[in-house]
Structure 1
Amino acid sequence: MSRRNTAKKRKISQDPIYNSKLVSMLTVRILKHGKKSIAQKIIYSSMQIIENKTQKNALEILEKAVRNTTPLVEVKARRIGGSTYQVPMEVRAYRGTNLALRWITKFAKQGAGKSMSIKLANEVINASNENGNSIRKREETHRMAEANKAFAHYRY
């Protein structure tokens, strides 16, 4: 982290098919070795699978999944007087969205067998129905923050 000045926030471009910034953020999370076209193919095929399974708009399901997975509070380690405390802090909107997308892709990648597009579609559908691993991760984050509420006065 630079001591001189803060990094400028980059503008996110919309993806070509859905004209959504959320889909392009998801593309970046799936990206491997800079192969953006492959990541986009995975996402678009998973969106087709979502539409076939749910008979609803895939973009709305994705938005609902991200909304359900976004954490409100998280814990950050803060070192005070030689001991480290887990201090609960509110999550800003952009970071919350990033965490949600990161968790969804992480648990989709961990799934066994099948293609990545099927695993991603299943994880998004589960998250939109408020179950699945990414929702469990959000609940765990909230529990950690709740357990360490006593250290909230160390917030910075």
Structure 2
Amino acid sequence: MSRRKRAAKRPLRQEIVYRSRLASMIVSRILKNGKKSLASRLFYQAMGKVRVKVKKDPLSILNQAVLHTTPRVVLKARRIGGSTYQVPLQVNPERGHALAIRWLLNASRKRPGRDMGSKLANEILDASKRIGNAIRKREEVHRMAEANKAYAHLRF
């Protein structure tokens, strides 16, 4: 990575069906080994299952799930005088959404079952209701930040 200047943010293309930037972010995060068609098929399958279970717009449920999973603070390791401190920092919204999407997908991958579409749908529904492993991860990060609040003066 160049030290001279920051790389420009490339605009993310909107996803075809829902015309949502968030949906395209999730599809690109599901992506494994460059198989975007498989990733989008899994996402659409999950959104179809959300639509059937809730009988509402699945995009609003997805937005709600990501909003509930987005952290307000994160911990960053800071090395000072041979000791490493976990320093709590406020997170900017883009980074928070990226973390929320990552936690949702990791939690859905760890769910029991065979079908990734249904696992992702169930995790999205749970996160929209403020339950599930992704929400637990967010609360754990917030608890750790609260415990390390004494090191907040070391932020940079």
Separation of aligned partners in 2, 1:8 and 1:111:
36
**Helix, strand or coil for the counterpart of 1:9?**
coil
Answer yes or no: is 1:155 the counterpart of 2:155: yes
Local SS of the residue matching 1:113: coil
* CA RMSD of superposed structures (Å): 0.8
Percentage of matched positions with identical amino acids? 54
Matched with 1:100 is 100
The answer for the alignment partner of 2:37 in structure 1 is 37
Deviation at 1:6, TM superposition (A): 1.5
Q: What letter matches 1:56 in structure 2? A: K
What count of residue pairs does the alignment treat as equivalent?
156
Q: State the distance in 2 between where 1:106 and 1:2 align.
A: 31
TM-score (norm 2): 0.98
In the alignment, the residues of structure 1 paired with residue 40 and residue 101 of structure 2 have an alpha-carbon distance, to the nearest angstrom, of 15
| Deviations 1:1-27 (CA, angstroms, capped at 9, x unpaired) | 432322221211100000000000000
Structure 1 unaligned runs (5+)?
none
Which runs of no fewer than 5 residues in structure 2 stay unpaired?
none
**TM-score, normalised with respect to structure 1:** 0.98
Instruction: Report the counterpart of residue 132 of structure 1 in structure 2.
Output: 132
Query: In the alignment, what sits opposite 1:50?
Result: 50
Tell me how far 1:74 sits from its aligned partner: 0.8
Where do residues 6-155 of structure 1 align in structure 2 (5 Å cutoff)?
A: 6-155=6-155
Per-residue CA shift, 1:23-74, capped at 9, x if unaligned? 0000011001101011001001110100000111100000000000000001
Secondary structure at the aligned position of 2:74 is classed as strand
- TM-superposed deviation, 1:104: 0.3
Runs of 4+ in 1 over 6 A off after TM superposition: none
